[in-house]
Amino acid sequence: MNAKNSYGGYTGDQPYSGMLVGEGPKTFFAVVGIAGSETEKIAILTVCHDKGLL
C-alpha cells in the first residue's frame, strides 16, 4: 500500500494487515494497520510469509 504522509507526499509501498469482515456476498477486507516502522514492517512480512501469503 502506498499512502500519503502528513506533508502530502507518498511514503512508498508499505506492507499492511487487515481482516475479512462479514459473511457470504457481504464479506469485505478491512485494513487494520499499515507498517509505520521497520519493526512493524518485519512483523507483518513475517506473519504473511509464515501463512504462505508471500
Task: Return the pLDDT at 31.
Answer: 94
Nearest residue to 19 (alpha-carbon basis) of 33, 9, 1, 4: 33
Cα–Cα distance, 31 to 16 (Å, whole number): 7
Q: What is the rounded CA–CA span in Å between residue 5 and residue 36?
A: 11
Res 3 pLDDT > 90: no
The reported pLDDT for the residue numbered 15 is 94
Give the per-residue pLDDT at 49.
Answer: 96
> What are the Cα distances from residue 21, in Å, to 24, 27, 35, 38, 42?
10, 5, 21, 28, 25
Q: Has residue 54 got a pLDDT over 90?
A: no
Q: Looking at residue 2, what is its pLDDT?
A: 87
pLDDT one-digit tens code per residue, 8-46 = 899 889 999 999 999 999 999 999 999 989 999 999 999
